[in-house]
Structure 1
Amino acid sequence: MFKHFSCNPILIAIIGLVILMASQGHALAQSNTMDLLKQYQHFKGKPENADEVSICNRLAEKFFFSSTDSALTFAQAALTGAKKLKLQTERARAMANIAKVKYIGGAFFQSLTYADSAVALSGQINYIPGLAGAINTRGLIYLGQNRFADAIPEFQQALVYNTKLKDSSRMSANYFNIGLCNDELNRRKQAFEYLQKSLHIAQQCKDNHMIQMALNRLGEVYYHLKNYPKALSFFKAALNFRNYQDNWEKTFAYSGIAEVQYVMGDYRQALENANKGFIVAKQLNAPWDTERAVKIMAQCYAALNDYEKAYHYQAMSRAYADSLTNERSEKEINYLHLRDKNAENLKLVKENEYNRQVIKSNRVITSLVAAFALLLVGVLFSLRRNIKLKNKLNLELQASNQAIAMQKAEIQAQQGELIALNQTKDRVLAIIGHDLRSPFASVLQALELMDSDELDEAEQKEVMQSFHQQLTLVAGLTNNLLNWANSQHSGATLQTETVELTDVTTEVLALYYSVYTSKQQRISHSFDVRMFVSGDQQHIRIILQNIISNAIKFTPRGGEINVFYTMKDGFTGIHIKDSGKGMPPAKLKQLFISSGRSISEKGTDQELGSGLGLFLIKQFVEENKGYIEVKSEPDGGSEFVVYFQSVPNSFGN
C-alpha cells in the first residue's frame, strides 16, 4: 500500500477514504442499502420531500466503493432535489458526496470544485459533518498529488471538526494521514507523534484495519531513521496482527522486513520475505508494491553475487517502473489541471466581485439620477469613487494574471526537466548497449576457444585472463547501472543525514584491500580528527568507491595513493591523490561531460571501464550540494577533491 522509495499517494488516499467508511460495518451496510433501495422505489427517482432527498444522499454514500456510477446518480438526484426544496444541509451533503465520487474516479479538479462548494455552504449553515468530510476530501486530493505540505492543513482542520463530533475512527484516520505526510516530508519527529496518536485511538475504538496500517507506517519511519531492530519489530507486529489481516498491509510488511534484513546483511532471509511480498502484490495486481518487491530481490541477488538473477529482477523492476511512469505523468497532468483550476477560480472570483460592484454602482447611479436630478455633485462624486474602485480591481486582475504567467513558466520548467530526464535515460542506455555488447562477445568467443580443445596451457591461461577482465567490467558496469537506476526512481528522496566521512572512507578502502595489495600499491589514509559532513551516506559511499577504484586502476604496480582531508568555506574536502599516469588537459576538460568509451581508458594492468562511474560521481555530488575539483597532468598523477557540506564534530559525538 505504501512505498518506501516511491510511494503511491493516490492509492494511500483512496484506502484512507475507505477507512473512514469502514466503521459502519459491511453486513449492516448491505442490509441498510436494500432497505433504502426499497424506499427509493416508492418515488421512482424524483425526490419531492426532505426524506426522499436524504435517502438519495444515504444511497450515494452506500455505493461509494461498490458502484461509483450509482453513487454519482444518487448524489446528483439529491443535489437537484435539495436545490428545488431549498434544503441547505442536504445540498451541502450532496456536494460533498459528489466530490468524493469524483475523487475516487480520479477527476481531481472536478472533485476539488465540489469540495470547495461544500465547504463554503457547510460553513454558512454551520454543518460540521459536511465541513469535516469536504475538507478531508480536499486533503486527500492534495495527498494524491504528492502535495504533502498542502494536504497537512486540510487534514488538521478536518481533525478539529471530527474531534468536535467525537468520531474516533475518522480522528484516527486524520492523525494517520498527517503522520504519513510528515514522513514523506522527512519530518520524522512529527510523523511519530501523529502515527502514535492514530494507533492509540484506533486501539481504543478497536479499528483493527487502522491498527495494522499504523504499525506498518511506524515500522517505515524507524527504517528511515536506520533503527532497524525497531523497524523489524513493528513490521512483524503488523504482519502477525491476529485481529485483522489485509493483503495490502501484508505485502507492505513483507517488503519492509525484506528491506531491513537486506540492510542488516541477512540477504537470504530478505530474499525470502521479498518473494512473499512479490507473490501477494501480484495477486492484488498492485504494480507499485510488485516493483518494490522485485527491486529488493534484485539487490539481494546482487549482494549474493548471483548476477544473472540480479539482472533478471532488475530488468523486471525497470519494466514495472517504466509502466508506472505513465501513471506518474497522468498524475502530473492532473496536478497541472488542479493548478489551472485554482488560478481560474481566483480569476472568476475577482471578475464576479468586480461585476457585482459595477451592477451595484450602476443601480445607485440610476436611482440617484432619477430621484435626485438636482444632486449632480453627489452623482459625480459617486462616479469618481467607482472609477477608483475599478482601477483597484484592474490592478488586482493584473496581479492575478502575473501569477498565472509565473505558474505557466513553472510548468514549462517542469517540462524541461522531464525532457532532460529522458535524454539522460537515452544516454545511459546507449552506454549500456555499447559497453555490454563487447564484453559479452569476448566472453562467448573465449568460451568457444576453450570448448574447441585447440589451445595449449599458455593460451588457455591468456584466454582466462581476458575472460576475467571482461567479467570484471560487466560486474562493475552492472553495479553502477543498479546505483544509477535506484537514483532515477520517482519519489526517491535524498536521505540527508550527518555522515562520519572518515569512517565511510575507511570502509571503502577495506573493500579494495585485495585489489591494491595485488598490485603492490601503498595507500595512506591520514586524518587528525573525525570529519562529519551532511549528505546521503549511500551516495557518498558510491562516490568514494568510484574515485578510489579509478585511482587504483590508473596507478601502476608499486605506486602510491594518499587520502587526506581539508576544510574550505564551510565544506570538508576529501583528497584522493595517486601517482598514476595522469590525464592530458583535453581529456580533463571532458571528464564529466562525455561518457562511455569516449572517456574510458584501460588501467595500468589493462583493466577495462565503461565511463558510467564518472557520470554517477557528478550526479551524486551535485545532488548532495557539493562540488568536485580535479588536478592532473600526464605522467604526474591525478588528484580528485570532493567537497561536502561540513557538520561540526559535536553533532556526531
Structure 2
Amino acid sequence: MSNLILLISLIWATPPIQVESTTKIDSEVLLDTLISKGEKYLYAEWDSAFYYLSKADSLARLLEEDNKVGKVANLFGTLYYVEGDYVKSIKYYSTASEIFNKTQDESGLNFALNGRGLIYLSQNQLERAIDIFNRCIEISKKLGDTYGIGKNYFNRSIGESDLGQFGKAHQSIDLALEYLKDHQDRVIYTMTLNRAGKIYFDEGKLEESEKYYRQVLNYPGQLSNWAYTFAYSGLAEIEIAKGNPRKALEYAEISKDYVYKTRGFWDKGRLSKVLLAIYEELDQYALALEHAKLYKAYSDSLYNESKNAEISHLQLLLADADNQNLLQEKELAENSAQFNKKLTIILVIALIGLIIGFILYGRVIKQKEKINQVLLEKQKEIQIQNEKLEAINEEKNKLFSILSHDLKAPINSVKQLLELEENGLLDEDEQKTVRKLLIKQVSDTDEMLRKLLRWSHAQLDGIITKRTATDLSEIVKEQVGQLDYQTVSKNITIDFSSIFDQAQVLVDPQQLRIILQNCLQNSIKFSNSDSQIKLWNSVQEEDGFINLHIKDDGIGISEEKMKEISSQVVRVKSTEGTQKEKGTGLGLLLVRQFMEKNQGHLRIQSKPNEGTEIILSFESINTTKELIES
C-alpha cells in the first residue's frame, strides 16, 4: 500500500517523463488504480472522475497501452454522457471504437457500442437504441460478462419504458437485477432499482414504485449523489400524484441537496419539472415560473446537444474519408513521378483506356443502381403485402377460434341430451321435456350460428369493431334465453330483473353477444347446483358509463389465479367447473380483447368459496338523470 501511495504521489508531483524511472509493473498497477478510481466516481463526483481519468489517459499513452487508452476513452464517453455533453461523449466513444477495432478487443468494442446506444436514447431514437442494446447483450453473453449483460438489460428497459412497452420494460429490468445480483457493490445496481421504480411510476403503480425507491434509500452500501437524487425526486413525483404537494416539497428539497453535486442535466431538468408541479399545486406561481424556465433551459440544452452530437459525428466521418482520399491521391502522384519518359506514350494509351473503362464502368454502375433501386422498391412492396397477409391470417384464425369456441357449449348440450335419450335414462315426461329443450337448443344454436356467420363474413379482411347504439337489456335477455339447457342441468336460475330497460350503450352488437355468452357460461360453469346468478346495472356518475354486474355464488377464484388473470394478456389456463366441465381458456381472452376494442372496462372481483362478480363497463348514450337515480 505504501508503494502504491508513493507511486501516486510521484505521478502527480513530477513531470510525466519521470514515470520512466518506475518499473513497468508498478506503472501498470498505478494505471489500473487510476482507471478504477475514475470508474468509481463516474456517477458520484464528476470532477473527481475527470481528474483520475485524465491522469490515467496521460499514463496509458506514455506506456503505449492501446487497450487502456481505449478503456479510458470509453469511460470519458460515459462521463460526458452523464453530464449531457453528447458531442464530447460520442467523440470519445468513436475514439474507443477505432482503438478496439485495431486491437480486436470485443469487450472494449461492446462498451463503445453500448455508448452509441445511449446516444440514440438521448436523441429519442428508441428503436435503434434497443437494437444496439440487444447486440450488446449477445456479445456480453458470448464473453460471459454478467455485469455487461445486466447493464445492457438496464439500458434496454429505458427505451422500452419510453415507448410505453411496460411489460417488456419490467421483463428487462428484472433480468438486469438478476444478472447484477453478484455486482451489488457497483453503482449500476442502485441505478437499476431506481429505474424499476420509475417504470412502475410511469405505469401508474405508485405503491410498487415507492417500494423500489425505498429499497434504494435503505441500500446497505454507499450511495452515489445520483442515486439519492433519482430516488428522492421519484418520491416527490409519487407524492404529487397522491395529492400531497407539501410532502412532495420535502422530498424535492432533499433531492436538490444532492442534484447540484452532480453535473447531470437530465436529473436537474427532472427535479425542476417536479418543483414546477409542486409550486403550481401550492399556488406559488412565481416559484413555479422560475422552475418552468429552469426546466425549459435544461431541456433545450439536452436537445441541442443531442442534435449537435449527430452532426459532429457525421463531420468526423466525412473528415476521415477526405483524409483517406488525399492519402490515395498523394500515393498516386508519387508513383506517377517515377515513370520513365520513354513510357509516356504507353501511359497516355493506358490513361485513355482507363478513362474509357471508367466511363463504361460508371454507366454499368448507374444501370445497376437503377435496377437495385427497382428491386428494393419491389421488395418493400412484397414485404408490406406479406405483413398485411399475416395480419389478415391472424384475424381469420381468431375468427375460427371464436366460431369453434362459441359452438362448443351448445353442441355439447345437444350431445348430452341425445346421449340421455339414447341410453334410455329418461321416462316419457322427461323425454318430452328433453325434446323441447333439444328443439330450443338447436334453434338457438342455429340463430347464433347465423349471426356469427354473418358477422364473420363481414370480418374476412380483419376483425373490425363497429360501435353502434345497442340495447343492452335486449341482448342480455337474448343470451340468457340461449342457456336453458346449461341452467336446467344444474338447476341454476338467472335473475336479470334488475337490468335497466332500454339501456343504450355504444358497442359492437355481435362482439357484445360474444362477451356476454362467455361471461354467463363461465358463471354457470363455476356455480354450484341449485344456486342463482344475478345480473344488474349500475351507472358510473363520473363518466356516465353503464356497468353490467354478473354475480354468482360459486367456487370463486383463488388469489394466485386472480394474479394470473390480472397480469396476463394471453390465454389463461382453464380450470374445471363444479361438474368437471372443461374449457380452453380462450373465453376470458376474447372478453378482454373485445372489451378493449369497444373502449370498455373489465373488472373481476372474487374470493374462494364466495363467488365471483364480473363487472362490464360500457359507454352509455344519453344517460338520463332518472336512470342514474334509479
Q: What TM-score comes out, normalization by structure 1 length?
A: 0.47
Give the number of the structure whose alpha-carbon radius of gyration is greater. Answer: 2
Q: What TM-score comes out, normalization by structure 2 length?
A: 0.48
